[in-house]
């Protein structure tokens, strides 16, 4: 059977692309880096941008886990929704109080990242 070159190219890329778990780990790694940078940066606008991105990120995670797509158990979905809720609540407090440390947000993201990197 003859394949169009575009199909072969697509198959080549998908064969070497990252798994969902690897993609999620990259997202959390980037989130940790951005939160750490914002925590030491005196620029309030940079902190606000990172916190806004943080809120959107956790909002997407919460939305994805409210739907049963068959990829995660109900307990895992509940855990992610609880983490998203905690992270967003603290994120709102950090937006309202610029003196509030970002360490709890960094720790939540690092814990999720550690879980993503250790589970095969």
Domain boundaries, the chain: 5-118
Instruction: With cut-offs at 50, 70 and 90, classify the pLDDT of residue 36.
Output: very high
- pLDDT reported for residue 103: 97
- pLDDT reported for residue 99: 93
Q: Is the pTM of this model over 0.95?
A: no
Closest CA to 89 of 71, 108, 73: 108
Give pLDDT tens digits for 7-31: 666 566 555 566 677 888 888 999 9
In 3-state terms, what secondary structure has residue 73?
Answer: coil
Give the residue with greater pLDDT, 12 vs 36.
36
Give pLDDT tens digits for 61-114: 888 888 877 777 888 888 889 999 999 999 999 999 999 999 999 999 999 999
Give the separation between CA 45 and CA 86, rounded to whole angstroms. Answer: 23
Instruction: With cut-offs at 50, 70 and 90, classify the pLDDT of residue 6.
Output: low
How far apart, in Å, do the first and last CA atoms of the chain sit? 36
């Amino acid at each position: 059977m003859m394949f169009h070159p575009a199909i072969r190219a697509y198959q080549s890329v998908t064969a070497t692309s990252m798994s969902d778990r690897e993609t999620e780990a990259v997202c959390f790694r980037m989130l940790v880096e951005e939160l750490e940078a914002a925590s030491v940066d005196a620029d309030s606008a940079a902190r606000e941008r990172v916190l806004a991105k943080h809120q959107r990120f956790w909002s997407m995670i919460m939305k994805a886990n409210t739907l049963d797509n068959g990829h995660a158990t109900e307990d895992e979905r509940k855990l992610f929704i609880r983490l998203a809720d905690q992270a967003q609540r603290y994120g709102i407090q950090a937006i309202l109080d610029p003196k509030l440390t970002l360490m709890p947000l960094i720790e939540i993201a690092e814990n999720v990242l550690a879980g993503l990197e250790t589970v095969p």
